[in-house]
């Protein structure tokens, strides 16, 4: 900053009036900052370098995350469940390396083991088959206030309790569509990962959720599940 000041100080016109001198002293920093055509370039350069380094650190961390956690779990440095929490992401899709999110195509997904992310249009196609079961991952109170007709409540935070009730009713090969409120709600992801762990094989995750369903003017059912 000093050298800019000296450049300004060398300009004789500034010092010929006392007012200019006063302003330079009193509000010198503001004036200096506004007169920094020289350092603007440097700031941009630094900003780009910092952003690049941070970006590379982020992408590097993301790529290294899964193998590092796997190695740590293998050497029992961390508990396997801690690793599974991350591996669950990889089950949804190999998001870091293959683009995100994407619906697994059938040839891409021969054993139907992955959670399939679907859009509204795909949901409509699926709904025509009439075989799918909707699962509402939200808490019971939200379910009672309104849900997709025919959906069953399965609060994500009470997974095991509800599993006892449903495991006879819904066979493991039933195609299930899991949803929650929509937008960026996480309950459906958490629930579908758990469903996958216990053995459900045909899991669809409708991430538009109940919000999108309502906005599309689809029917809504209210009340408790019998």
Partner 1 sequence: MIPRAPDAGQTPARSRINWFTVAYHFCRILIGLLFIVASYDKILMPWNFGRAIYVYKMLPGYLISPMAASMPWVELVAGILLVFNRFTRPAAMIIGGLNIVFMVAIATVIARGMDIDCGCGLDVGPLALIVGTQADGWALVRDLILLGIAAIIYFGYKPRRG
CB atoms within 10 A of CB 150: 11
Rounded alpha-carbon distances, angstroms, from residue 82 to 62, 121, 153: 16, 35, 27
Strand ranges (E), the chain: 116-118, 133-136, 152-153, 176-179, 203-206
Q: Tell me the window of 58-66, 73-81, 127-135, 158-166 that interacts with partner 1 (CB under 8 A).
A: 58-66
* Count of residues that interact with partner 1, criterion CB under 8 A: 49
71 touches partner 1 (CB under 8 A): no
Question: Considering the complex, what minimum distance in angstroms separates the CB of residue 46 from partner 1?
Answer: 4
Considering only residues 96 to 125 of the shown chain, the ones binding partner 1 according to CB under 8 A are 96-97, 99-102
220 touches partner 1 (CB under 8 A): no
CB within 8 Å of 150: residues ≥ 6 apart: 133, 134, 221
User: Which of 131, 186, 220, 225 forms a contact with partner 1 (CB under 8 A)?
Assistant: 186
Question: Considering the complex, what minimum distance in angstroms separates the CB of residue 48 from partner 1?
Answer: 8
Nearer to partner 1, 33 or 171 (CB): 33
Q: Tell me the window of 57-65, 72-80, 106-114, 167-175 that interacts with partner 1 (CB under 8 A).
A: 57-65
What does the buried/exposed string (b/e) look like for 49-72 if buried means 16 or more CB atoms within 10 Å of the residue's CB?
A: eeeeeeeeeeeeeeeeebeebeee
92/124 Cα distance (integer angstroms) = 21
41 touches partner 1 (CB under 8 A): no
Rounded to the nearest angstrom, the gap between the alpha carbon of residue 25 and the centroid of all alpha carbons in its chain is 50
CB atoms within 10 A of CB 226: 3
User: Which of 38, 54, 197, 198 forms a contact with partner 1 (CB under 8 A)?
Assistant: 54
Question: Considering the complex, what minimum distance in angstroms separates the CB of residue 187 from partner 1?
Answer: 12
126/140 Cα distance (integer angstroms) = 25
82 touches partner 1 (CB under 8 A): no
183 touches partner 1 (CB under 8 A): yes
Instruction: Report yes or no: 204 and 116 within 8 Å, Cβ to Cβ.
Output: yes
- The residue ranges that bind partner 1 (CB under 8 A) are 1-2, 5-6, 9, 14-15, 18, 21-22, 24-26, 28-30, 33-34, 39, 43-44, 46-47, 50-51, 53-59, 61-62, 89, 92, 95-97, 99-102, 183-184, 186, 207, 211, 215
């Amino acid at each position: 900053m000093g050298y800019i000041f000296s450049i300004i100080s060398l300009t004789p016109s500034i010092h010929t009036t006392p007012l200019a001198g006063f302003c330079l002293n009193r509000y010198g920093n503001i004036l200096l900052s506004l007169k920094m055509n020289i350092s603007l370039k440097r700031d941009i350069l630094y900003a780009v370098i910092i952003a690049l380094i941070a970006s590379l650190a982020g992408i590097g961390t993301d790529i290294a995350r899964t193998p590092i956690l796997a190695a740590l779990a293998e050497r029992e440095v961390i508990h396997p469940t801690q690793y599974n929490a991350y591996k669950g992401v990889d089950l949804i899709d190999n998001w870091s390396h293959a683009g995100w999110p994407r619906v697994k195509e059938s040839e891409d997904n021969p054993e139907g083991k992955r959670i399939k992310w679907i859009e509204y249009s795909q949901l409509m196609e699926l709904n025509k088959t009439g075989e799918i079961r909707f699962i509402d991952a939200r808490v019971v109170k939200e379910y009672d206030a309104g849900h997709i007709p025919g959906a069953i409540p399965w609060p994500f935070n009470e997974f095991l309790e509800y599993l006892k009730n449903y495991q006879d009713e819904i066979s493991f090969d039933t195609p299930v569509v899991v949803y929650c409120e929509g937008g960026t709600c996480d309950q459906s992801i958490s629930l579908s990962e758990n469903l996958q762990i216990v053995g459900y094989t045909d899991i669809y995750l409708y991430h538009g959720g109940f919000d999108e369903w309502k906005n599309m003017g689809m029917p809504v059912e209210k009340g408790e599940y019998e």
